[in-house]
Every structure is written in C-alpha cells, then in structure tokens.
Amino acid sequence: MIGQGPPGALRYCVAGAAGTAGRPLVADDVFRIFSITKTFTAVMVMQLVEEGQLTLDTQVSSVLPDLDLAQGVTVRQLLDHSSGLPDFLRGGLEGTLRGDGARTWTPQEVLDWTAEHREPPQDPGTGHSYSNTNYVIAGMLIEEITGMSLAENLRTRITEPLGMIDTAYGSDGPGPVTGFSMWLPQGSSDAYSYHAVETAIGAAGAMVSTAPDLVTFLTALEEGRLLSARSWDQMTDFTTIADQERVGLGVFEFTIGEQTLLGHGGDFPGYQALAAFEPASGEVLVVLTNDDNTPLAHLVEIVLATS
C-alpha cells in the first residue's frame, strides 16, 4: 500500500492480499504502523511544551519522581534517543511478548522488567542510541500531565481534529489486515495475538493507521496545523548519528538510494511501514506492507524510481 500526497496530485498504488482468503488490498485498509507511533507521541509532547506544561529541558523526575530508571534524563533526551536508557525490546522482552501474546502489560511493568533485565543506563546526553524505552516514558509523561489516557490524548489532539477515523492505538482502533511473515505461526498473524506487544510498546509503537490517514497527518504537520513553526523547527533540528542518518525529535532524516527523506519507519513480524516527506519536493510518501519478506527500503526505492 503506497500513498503520495501534496504538493503533487494524490495517488495510491495498491497490490497484494489483505488476508489468507486472498481478498485484494484496498487503499483504505488498516495496517499496524509500529514505530511511526513515535512521531505522534513526539507531536503530543511538543503540544504540551507549547501549552507551557513542560519544556524540552524538563527533567523526567520532576513529573515522574518515582521513576528511578530515568533519573537525570530530560524530555529532549527521550525524544532524540540520547537518554542512555536501554531498549527493552533488545534485551529479551520481545521473546516474552511473543510467548504470551494475551498478556496485558503496563508501562511500569515494562520499565520494571527493563531495570531488572537490561544493562544499567548510560549517562544521559553522551550519545544517541535508539530505544523504545524512551517513548514508553514519553507516553507516561503525557498521561501524568494531562490526566487522560494516551488514547484520549491522541483522539482529541490529532485524529479527531484531522478527521483520521482509522487511526488509533491498536486495541482502540479498527482491525488491521493480516500480516504475513516467516516469523509468525503458520506464516500469518491469523493465529497470533499482538495484544502483549501493543500493551508493552504503547506510545513507542502500538498504533494502527491507513495510508490516507498518514498522508493527512504528515501534510497537517508540514502545514503547521498541529504545531507551531518553532516546534517543528525543534523537531527537525537534526543531529548526525550515521553517514546516512540524522536524528531529531520523533523524526529522522535518512537516505534510501539517492533520495533524502524525513520521517519515521516501523516494523515488527508481519508489517513494515514508512511515513516521510521528500524535503526537496515537499511531497509526502507513505509505504505500508503486510508482508515483511521484502525489505521496506527496496519497496521505497521502487516507488521513488517511478514517481
């Protein structure tokens, strides 16, 4: 599923099956978008900054004083992955989530597991290392400051104002198409529960969406309908972390083939996703697939070569 948005004409390219019964995919099918969720989370945090509820230099401990794992970490360091916090998914929890797919996890349980099973945090601000833990904590900040759930914040702040009726946290949204992967039981998600994964990753990757909704989101973000120009400038004040990748706040700048893109990707067995801008043209590019056997970068290269 591919969507491209303004400033050029909106177009969608669809191929493949939505499930094991063979129904063809259609343009408004729902997919799991995993880490693209982080961009939504970062936007909600930046909205709180604009409202004066916190700053990017606010210490996490000033809002969540009992969270020992994040002592000395600032909001900015969560969003740009310079907190030094270990990634719970890289330390064995992913296997636990797959082994008991029906279990419900709370953010605090995820952080308790991380503190017990992962290496101690590194000094905040001494380097950048991608960590889902950062965005689990960012979600806790949003809930603590607003007194509302992540789902309610997402609905009132982003999806409802923009008319994004098919975008939500997985448990609150419409059911996604079947995912296909050699890593899933019987090769598809039909016999696999993502409930444990969704509840554990939360603000770091639990959302579902469609190509049209993601085009709407990125277009609104670029046009200043969700954040001020100053906030967007802060999100896209990139730091180079690799030859072809730079990190901002909830967004990355990266190169696929010869094309520079600005946005975020996401993946987990059964699904791959990318939602990005082409800075040179201002066009929006969304690529969603429910089959992880073909590398997402290869799909993006095909799209860019034909656009």
pLDDT in tens, 77-100: 999 999 999 999 887 787 888 888
Three-point CA angle 89, 240, 131, nearest 5° = 10
pLDDT in tens, 223-241: 999 999 999 999 999 999 9
- Cα separation, 208 vs 271, whole angstroms: 11
**Residue 182 — φ and ψ, nearest 5°?**
-65, -15
- Provide the pLDDT for residue 269: 93
Dihedral of CA 301/302/303/307: which sign? positive
The SS3 of residue 17 is strand
Q: Return the H-helix or E-strand segment holding 158.
A: none
Instruction: Calculate what percentage of the chain has a pLDDT beyond 90.
Output: 77
pLDDT in tens, 245-300: 999 999 999 998 888 999 999 999 999 999 999 888 889 999 999 999 888 888 88
Residue 249 near residue 239 (C-beta atoms within 8 A): no
- Provide the pLDDT for residue 1: 52
What does the buried/exposed string (b/e) look like for 17-40 if buried means 16 or more CB atoms within 10 Å of the residue's CB?
ebbeeeeebeebbbbbbbbbbbbb
- Provide the pLDDT for residue 8: 55
Evaluate if residue 170 carries a pLDDT over 90.
Answer: no
Predicted confidence band at 190 (pLDDT cuts at 50, 70, 90)? very high
- Cα separation, 130 vs 79, whole angstroms: 10
Residue 271 near residue 29 (C-beta atoms within 8 A): no
* Inter-CA distances, 13 with 29, 154, 212, 272, Å: 12, 28, 11, 16
168: left (phi over 0), alpha (psi -120 to 50) or beta: beta
pLDDT in tens, 39-64: 999 999 999 999 999 999 999 999 99
- Cα separation, 163 vs 205, whole angstroms: 21
More confident residue, 192 or 94: 192
- Provide the pLDDT for residue 303: 79
Q: Where are the beta strands (DSSP E) in 257-299?
A: 259-268, 271-277, 284-289
Is the pTM above the cut of 0.85? yes
Q: Residue 162 carries which side chain, given as an amino acid letter?
A: L
Beta bridge partners of 263: 252, 276
The SS3 of residue 238 is coil
Is residue 58 packed enough to be buried (19+ CB in 10 Å), middle (13-18) or exposed (0-12)?
middle
Evaluate if residue 73 carries a pLDDT over 80.
Answer: yes
Three-point CA angle 155, 290, 160, nearest 5° = 10
Predicted confidence band at 6 (pLDDT cuts at 50, 70, 90)? low
The residue-averaged pLDDT of 2-28 equals: 80
* Inter-CA distances, 142 with 21, 145, 181, 201, Å: 40, 5, 34, 15
- Provide the pLDDT for residue 3: 55
DSSP state of 224: T
- Provide the pLDDT for residue 4: 57
Predicted confidence band at 104 (pLDDT cuts at 50, 70, 90)? very high
- Provide the pLDDT for residue 10: 76
pLDDT in tens, 117-140: 888 899 999 999 999 999 999 999
What does pLDDT average to over the chain?
92
- Provide the pLDDT for residue 100: 86
